[in-house]
Structure 1
Amino acid sequence: MGNKIFITLGSQKFQFNRLLRAVDELIEKGVIDDTVFAQIGYSDYEPKHFQYKQFLDREEFVAQEDMCDILITHGGTGAIIGAVKKRKKVIAIPRLEKYGEHVDDHQIQLIEQFKGQNLICGIDDTTELEDALNFVREHGFDVYQSNTKTIIESIERFIEGKE
């Protein structure tokens, strides 16, 4: 048995069945032998080879995130930032409009930004998941540095007319 994988698909009213099926297939093939738990949100696919719950309360979510080694998620900013702040190895896959997973494809750009900063492993499609798992097990990611303070200071300077 390997690592603990936590899959979180957010709480917006969109399914991400494609990702859940891909994980089930990798477990069935023996590619994933890790313990897997998923928060599946509004997905209606019911995983066959790993435990899941539709929604987690805050305490359950924090516990699952704290226990995991690898977090697999959609391209939601909150899920990604929360995990990288805790120095989790993150694999992010964008929800895509063409599959009815979102209203547009903005998650592609969000994932590219995080990937470009060497904070996560971003992949374009679930077919790349096996390679992504191998990659995150070996790769060293950079530590997340919040720029909130810089942004606030810039806004304050602007408001005060100093910028």
Structure 2
Amino acid sequence: MIFASVGSMLPFDRLVRAVDEWAAANPAEPVFIQIGGGEYEPRHAPFVRMMPHTEYRRRLEKCDLFVAHVGMGSILQSLEARKQLLMLPRLAALREHTTDHQLHTAARFRDTEGLLIVDDTQALQAAMSRLLREPLAPSAGISRFAPQPMIEKVAHYLTARPTQQ
């Protein structure tokens, strides 16, 4: 099953349309899309605009491939769940975001195990088919919680009394 998400901040019709077109060409593969506030509504895959976080996590846990924009939330959640992630950056020139910071994020995470970042919708659709046949090597994953020494340092800082001068 493919789970695609545009996140909660801005529409990303280019991604939604590309995933929906792929779903039309691959009707045997289940696809579900979280589309946010975009104008384009999928015709070939079930979708919701937004969903509760518990439902989002459930869909992420059950999917074989997670498709998303190059947002830190998507990256962190896929690493936590150890799910392969296919990403397409939003572009300011196409008015998908106010800046091109997702291109900088893509450059930083391009070599991360378990993530594949593509530059256009044709590459996205080709990668969707390929990754279902030949999944990416899983990432080492990350914990949802900070390491215990860090928690202890923050707790100490928060409970320490300021020194009198």
Does TM, scored on the shorter chain, surpass 0.5?
yes
2:16 aligned residue: 20
Return closer, same or farther for 1:111/1:127 CA change in 2, 3 Å cut-off: same
Q: Give CA-to-partner distance per residue, 1:99-131, whole Å, 9 cap, x none.
A: 111001111121232221223000111120133
Q: 1:140 aligns with which of 137, 141, 149?
A: 137
Q: Aligned partners of 1:142 and 1:11: how far apart in 2?
A: 24
Q: 2:126 aligns with which of 127, 131, 137?
A: 131
TM-score (norm 1): 0.81
Moved more, 129-138 or 78-87: 129-138
- The percentage of counterpart residues that share the same residue type is 31
Q: Which amino acid aligns with 2:4?
A: I
Q: 2:7 aligns with which of 10, 17, 42?
A: 10
- Rg larger for: 2
RMSD (Å) for aligned C-alpha atoms: 2.5
Q: Aligned partners of 1:33 and 1:114: how far apart in 2?
A: 31
Are residues 1:65 and 2:65 paired? no
Residues 2 and 67, structure 2, Cα contact 8 Å, conserved in 1: yes
SS across alignment from 2:89: coil
Residues 18 and 125, structure 2, Cα contact 8 Å, conserved in 1: no
Equivalence map 1:76-91=2 (5 Å)? 76-91=71-86
Return closer, same or farther for 1:145/1:57 CA change in 2, 3 Å cut-off: closer
The alignment covers a number of residue pairs equal to 151
Which stretches in structure 2 are left out of the alignment for 5+ residues? Answer: 158-165
Q: Aligned partners of 1:33 and 1:23: how far apart in 2?
A: 14
1:105 aligned residue: 100
Equivalence map 1:36-47=2 (5 Å)? 36-47=31-42
Q: Any runs of at least 4 consecutive aligned residues in structure 1 with deviations exceeding 6 A, and if so which?
A: none
